[in-house]
Chains A and B, each alone.
Chain A
Amino acid sequence: MRTTFNLNRKSVEAEPEPRTTLADCLRDELRHTGTHIGCEHGVCGACTVLVDGAAVRSCLMLAVQADGCDVETVEGLAENGALSVLQKAFRKHHALQCGFCTPGFLMTAHGLLLREPFAGPDRIRDVLAGSLCRCTGYIPILEAVLDAQQAYQQTRKSMP
């Protein structure tokens, strides 16, 4: 089925089967392999992308449901090819080891801080508890998100 959506601010067309998940479509047809698949039943969160600004498990959403939507993946986070503030904070705090779950954590945190830049640590922890990481023990991830938070707050303040 012909499906058209904005992927990281660029219009793309795909021809997924009706049963194809958004995750498979992104990875296999559109060759955006930064979105990872860890469980295919919506628990691990590695495949999280933003659809119209909301964090979505792309393994639980059909590709055809993205028709007409704005889809953001980890490949769209970088600013002119350089690490974003959030990505830099992950690096600074050693918030990743194997890096497999990382795209999901980045997109979940990015989506949260865009909507709720003043979220407190408990709120951030609650939201990120929807993703699984087996390497870091999570503590450095929380530190990284808290470190990056100020930049999101400033962006919000500078908006009219």
Chain B
Amino acid sequence: MMQSNSYIGSEVERVEDARLLLGQGNFVGDLSCEGVLHAAILRSSVAHGYLKAIDCSAVRACPGVRVVVTAAEIGPTIPTVPLRQDPIPTTAPYEQPVIANGKVRYVGEPIAVVIADTAQIAEDALEFFKLDIDPLPAVVGAEPQHAASALFFETTNSNVSVRLEGVKGKVSDAFARADYRRRERFTVQRHTAIPMETRGLLARWEGDKLTVWGGAKVPFAIRRLLARHLNRSEQDITIIESDIGGGFGVRGEYYPEDFLVPFCARMVGRPVKWIEDRREHLLATAHAREVECELEIACRSDGVILALRGIADVDMGAYIRTNAVTPPRNIAQVVSGPYRVSNVHMDVALVMTNKTPVGTYRGPGRFEVDFFRERLFDMAAADLGIDRVQFRRINLVSSAEMPYPLPTVMPLHSESECDSGDYSRTLERCLSEFDWPTKTKSDGKLIEGEYHGVALGCYIESGGSGPQENARLAIEVDGTVSVVVGSTAVGQGLETTMAQIAADALELPFEKIRVFHGSTNLLRQGFGTYGSRSIVMGGSAVWTAAAELKKAMAAAAARKLGCSPSEVRLLEGRLVGLKGQSIELGEIAGVAAEGSFGSDKRTYSYGTHAAHVSVDSKTGRVRVLDYVAVEDVGRIVNPAGLHGQTIGAIVQGLGGSLLEHLIYDESGQLLTASFADYLLPTMSDFPNIRAFAMQEHRAPNNPLGAKGGGEGGIIPVGGVIANAVASALRSLGAQPVALPLSPPRVWKLMEDGRSASARSPATAQ
């Protein structure tokens, strides 16, 4: 067969767009069905306390209320939300019951569900619950002294649920022989993904069979957990993936509602729909990022890094949910990033607090630890009198050192290694695109009331999370090829990229490919979309299945054409024999092939970002005047799609660096539970961003040579922005060590610097 295609690498317009632009998307909130009832969830307004009684009588008396469900209706045993990813057996006591059971541990924890004829009636009825909650002191800080103040899991002896260790080499020896050491304490604030569509579910039972719409991310895992908790077989449950309004890690996990909504539908004998509102989303959907870290570096006097060691306290919120161990694991593993560091030791404590439970958010753990590391590097380079670019140049892992091992994380025995690449290439390209020599001329200067600063940072992005992905391809009667893949769409353009891959692999026109994905009725098993894995794992599964399909197509066509399979050619969408005899593709409809791709080796994209900021000397407001990102992702399937992911991720990262903050008061109340209080970036905030993608070093461990590209954009942003602010304020000696760099904080840094220099003018230069 011959007809070479080059859809991979082309800016193909997205097949998803027409329906989304016409208002014809199928988001879960758009769905309805005959006889549907609506759920509203009563959530705890108390951060920590004994739930002594729930009086539902007035709720049940409301006209239009059908069912009220509390722990009493679900028990005697209340299922708990298990740790699905990076499992550790000892986290079991910290798992969340799907409904509060005798105790509440965060504001937003589900206490009861009301099922009513309309969503309005269900919400109104929440007003009529009478709760008797005996409040207990709330633990709201992750520092050990806070965590020890009130033990809130009675069956445990500590609010530290797990301790992880990242280990490599011999740290104490390296520190003992180092010419230079510096230790600093850093903080990243609690913030999170905030997809524009809130979560939602629609559950319908037909006899013993359950269908749930609104699945996302990992539908097969959801089905497995739901089957266990509802005491059904997996074959009785279908999870349907609808259009998804953004994921970024938080959406599509197994949350308490994923059990409660189907449970209530079974109890009431009618379909039940639940759509989270925004305030509820800010309280109930996973939070992320809150870490305090003390990090220490050891160097030779020439700037060669000998070792990194640190202690991190990660604020986990009130429960360990499905993927909560992944961010702290990453803090332990990627602290050294793209740099050659032979000796590493990280102690990471997972500390429970009376706040919303955390999970993964795009670049989990990596955004945080890159901020710690890059900030410390700039301090070290300055101390040693070495140019900060040169400091990075001499310490970046070289291509000759690949594959390069990262620290091993215990007790998970999690090992990983940088797979391929020349990290200096993205650094040099970034310097050139940014025009570093020109930009640095204003560095540290006060110009018309604004301090100017520039900085840069390097990072690695792990992608292609294992273990496997599956695909099935089939010829349809209309002459199209249906591609079914276990990857899921969260808005990243999966249908387009998978069609590009299939069209190239099959040497067929793009228009002949139709992609179906995610839902559990399409494949026997699928894995989904997380950890920048869809192109790497799903795309490789499609690629593998396509090779099988081509063989099957040739064999089937050969029988019809009366020739041997090797003589069959594909010409303009027709199958042609040696003598020119031909058939339409649709004439071999039913020919199908399956393919899988499995790997336990991560891909490592890499890159460098640079920023030029100005700081208002009166207000502390930080403006981003220029931001340049250069990355190498191995192989680019859709450059426009990748560019969009990168720009979008950078803006999310700028939000996390400068604006976004989930703030709690001392009693554990979330003070930022609306978009008036939780500030997201808008179009006028960060208009000056440029992104460049390279594909010089393919991934060695998958047939496409692709590396994950969905998260890199966010990873270095905090470090780069904080270093640029530090550089801008160098005349004041300001050293930002905490995000977000909001105007009041930056103003305080400037004021502290000014008063210090007023006290000792000779030392503040």
Please report A residues at the B interface, Cβ cutoff 8 Å. Answer: 17, 19, 27, 32-41, 43-44, 46, 73-75, 77-78, 83, 87, 90-92, 94, 96-103, 106, 125-126, 128-142
B248: interface (CB < 8 Å)? yes
List B contacts of A39 (CB < 8 A). Answer: 278, 674-675
12 extra A-B contacts, CB within 8 A, seeds A38-B197, A100-B196, A100-B197: A41-B676, A44-B278, A74-B22, A94-B644, A98-B197, A99-B21, A100-B25, A100-B195, A102-B21, A125-B684, A134-B246, A140-B647
Across the interface, do B23 and A34 meet the contact criterion of CB distance under 8 Å? yes
Chain A, Cβ-Cβ closest to B653: A137
Across the interface, do B21 and A106 meet the contact criterion of CB distance under 8 Å? yes
Across the interface, do A139 and B687 meet the contact criterion of CB distance under 8 Å? yes
Complex CA distance for A43 and B25, rounded to whole angstroms: 22
29 A-B residue pairs with Cβ-Cβ distance under 8 Å, sorted by A, are A34-B22, A34-B23, A36-B29, A43-B676, A44-B278, A74-B21, A74-B22, A83-B22, A87-B22, A94-B640, A98-B196, A98-B197, A98-B245, A99-B17, A99-B25, A101-B245, A102-B20, A125-B683, A129-B684, A131-B682, A132-B675, A132-B682, A133-B683, A134-B248, A137-B644, A137-B648, A138-B681, A139-B647, A140-B644
Q: Smallest distance from the beta carbon of B386 to chain A beta carbons, Å?
A: 34
List B contacts of A126 (CB < 8 A). Answer: 684
Q: Point out the residue from A33, A40, A135 that lies within 8 Å of B648, measured CB to CB.
A: A135
Please report B residues at the A interface, Cβ cutoff 8 Å. Answer: 11, 13-14, 16-18, 20-25, 27, 29-30, 120, 193-198, 243-248, 277-278, 490-493, 640-641, 643-645, 647-652, 674-676, 680-687, 689
Across the interface, do A91 and B491 meet the contact criterion of CB distance under 8 Å? no
Across the interface, do A43 and B675 meet the contact criterion of CB distance under 8 Å? yes
Q: Point out the residue from A99, A102, A141 that lies within 8 Å of B683, measured CB to CB.
A: A141
Q: Smallest distance from the beta carbon of B490 to chain A beta carbons, Å?
A: 7
List A contacts of B681 (CB < 8 A). Answer: 138
List A contacts of B196 (CB < 8 A). Answer: 36, 38, 44, 46, 98, 100-101, 132-135
Chain A, Cβ-Cβ closest to B195: A134
Across the interface, do A78 and B22 meet the contact criterion of CB distance under 8 Å? yes
Q: Point out the residue from A74, A100, A106, A125 that lies within 8 Å of B687, measured CB to CB.
A: A125
Given A39-B278, A126-B684, A139-B647, A87 and B246 touching (CB < 8 A)? Answer: no
Q: Smallest distance from the beta carbon of B41 to chain A beta carbons, Å?
A: 16
Q: Smallest distance from the beta carbon of A138 to chain B beta carbons, Å?
A: 4
How many A-B contacts at CB < 8 Å in the complex?
A: 171
Q: Smallest distance from the beta carbon of B685 to chain A beta carbons, Å?
A: 8
Q: Smallest distance from the beta carbon of B152 to chain A beta carbons, Å?
A: 32
Q: Smallest distance from the beta carbon of B469 to chain A beta carbons, Å?
A: 21
Given A38-B278, A74-B23, A96-B20, A33 and B245 touching (CB < 8 A)? Answer: no
Given A94-B641, A129-B684, A137 and B689 touching (CB < 8 A)? Answer: yes
Across the interface, do B23 and A100 meet the contact criterion of CB distance under 8 Å? no
List B contacts of A94 (CB < 8 A). Answer: 11, 14, 640-641, 643-644
Across the interface, do B640 and A98 meet the contact criterion of CB distance under 8 Å? no
Across the interface, do A134 and B680 meet the contact criterion of CB distance under 8 Å? yes
Across the interface, do B278 and A97 meet the contact criterion of CB distance under 8 Å? no
Complex CA distance for A106 and B675, rounded to whole angstroms: 21
Across the interface, do A129 and B683 meet the contact criterion of CB distance under 8 Å? yes
List B contacts of A96 (CB < 8 A). Answer: 17, 20-21
Complex CA distance for A94 and B14, rounded to whole angstroms: 8
Across the interface, do B680 and A132 meet the contact criterion of CB distance under 8 Å? yes
Chain A, Cβ-Cβ closest to B492: A97
Across the interface, do B23 and A41 meet the contact criterion of CB distance under 8 Å? no
Given A43-B674, A100-B246, A136 and B644 touching (CB < 8 A)? Answer: yes
Complex CA distance for A102 and B225, rounded to whole angstroms: 34
Q: Smallest distance from the beta carbon of A55 to chain B beta carbons, Å?
A: 15
List A contacts of B29 (CB < 8 A). Answer: 27, 33, 36-37
Across the interface, do B674 and A41 meet the contact criterion of CB distance under 8 Å? yes
Given A36-B245, A125-B687, A100 and B27 touching (CB < 8 A)? Answer: yes
Complex CA distance for A106 and B20, rounded to whole angstroms: 11
Complex CA distance for A128 and B194, rounded to whole angstroms: 19
Given A97-B644, A135-B648, A36 and B27 touching (CB < 8 A)? Answer: yes
Complex CA distance for A33 and B242, rounded to whole angstroms: 14
List B contacts of A90 (CB < 8 A). Answer: 17, 21
Q: Smallest distance from the beta carbon of B350 to chain A beta carbons, Å?
A: 27
Q: Smallest distance from the beta carbon of B530 to chain A beta carbons, Å?
A: 16
Across the interface, do B682 and A137 meet the contact criterion of CB distance under 8 Å? no
Complex CA distance for A100 and B21, rounded to whole angstroms: 10
Chain A, Cβ-Cβ closest to B690: A139
List A contacts of B492 (CB < 8 A). Answer: 97
Complex CA distance for A101 and B685, rounded to whole angstroms: 18
List A contacts of B23 (CB < 8 A). Answer: 32-35, 73-75, 77, 103
Q: Point out the residue from B24, B30, B490, B651 that lies within 8 Å of A138, measured CB to CB.
A: B651
Complex CA distance for A131 and B244, rounded to whole angstroms: 19
Q: Point out the residue from B277, B278, B682 that lies within 8 Å of A129, measured CB to CB.
A: B682
Given A100-B27, A100-B246, A141-B683, A91 and B198 touching (CB < 8 A)? Answer: no
Given A98-B195, A100-B245, A75 and B22 touching (CB < 8 A)? Answer: yes
Chain A, Cβ-Cβ closest to B688: A139
User: What 10 pairs between A and B have smallest CB-CB spacing?
Assistant: A34-B23, A98-B491, A100-B245, A99-B20, A43-B675, A137-B651, A137-B647, A74-B23, A33-B30, A129-B684
Q: Smallest distance from the beta carbon of B498 to chain A beta carbons, Å?
A: 16
List B contacts of A136 (CB < 8 A). Answer: 644, 647-648
Chain A, Cβ-Cβ closest to B277: A40
Chain B, Cβ-Cβ closest to A121: B687
Across the interface, do A142 and B197 meet the contact criterion of CB distance under 8 Å? no
Complex CA distance for A43 and B647, rounded to whole angstroms: 22
Q: Point out the residue from B194, B245, B652, B684 that lies within 8 Å of A99, measured CB to CB.
A: B245
List B contacts of A75 (CB < 8 A). Answer: 22-23
Q: Smallest distance from the beta carbon of B675 to chain A beta carbons, Å?
A: 4
Complex CA distance for A97 and B490, rounded to whole angstroms: 9
Q: Point out the residue from B17, B686, B687 that lies within 8 Å of A91, measured CB to CB.
A: B17
Across the interface, do A138 and B682 meet the contact criterion of CB distance under 8 Å? yes
Complex CA distance for A98 and B652, rounded to whole angstroms: 15
List A contacts of B193 (CB < 8 A). Answer: 134
List A contacts of B641 (CB < 8 A). Answer: 94
Complex CA distance for A87 and B676, rounded to whole angstroms: 30
Complex CA distance for A83 and B21, rounded to whole angstroms: 8
Complex CA distance for A66 and B705, rounded to whole angstroms: 55
Complex CA distance for A158 and B244, rounded to whole angstroms: 41
Q: Smallest distance from the beta carbon of A105 to chain B beta carbons, Å?
A: 9
Across the interface, do B652 and A134 meet the contact criterion of CB distance under 8 Å? yes
List A contacts of B25 (CB < 8 A). Answer: 34, 99-100
List A contacts of B246 (CB < 8 A). Answer: 97-98, 100, 134-135
Complex CA distance for A34 and B27, rounded to whole angstroms: 9
Q: Smallest distance from the beta carbon of B266 to chain A beta carbons, Å?
A: 25
List B contacts of A92 (CB < 8 A). Answer: 13
Complex CA distance for A83 and B531, rounded to whole angstroms: 34
Complex CA distance for A120 and B224, rounded to whole angstroms: 53
Complex CA distance for A75 and B27, rounded to whole angstroms: 15
Complex CA distance for A138 and B686, rounded to whole angstroms: 9
Q: Point out the residue from A27, A36, A73, A97 that lies within 8 Å of B491, measured CB to CB.
A: A97
List B contacts of A130 (CB < 8 A). Answer: 682
Across the interface, do A142 and B675 meet the contact criterion of CB distance under 8 Å? no
Complex CA distance for A141 and B676, rounded to whole angstroms: 23
Across the interface, do B197 and A36 meet the contact criterion of CB distance under 8 Å? yes
Residue of B20, B30, B490, B640 contacting most chain A CB atoms (<10 Å) = B20
Q: Smallest distance from the beta carbon of A60 to chain B beta carbons, Å?
A: 13
Chain A, Cβ-Cβ closest to B244: A98
Across the interface, do B491 and A99 meet the contact criterion of CB distance under 8 Å? yes
Complex CA distance for A66 and B687, rounded to whole angstroms: 36
List A contacts of B243 (CB < 8 A). Answer: 98-100
Across the interface, do A40 and B278 meet the contact criterion of CB distance under 8 Å? yes
Complex CA distance for A128 and B334, rounded to whole angstroms: 38
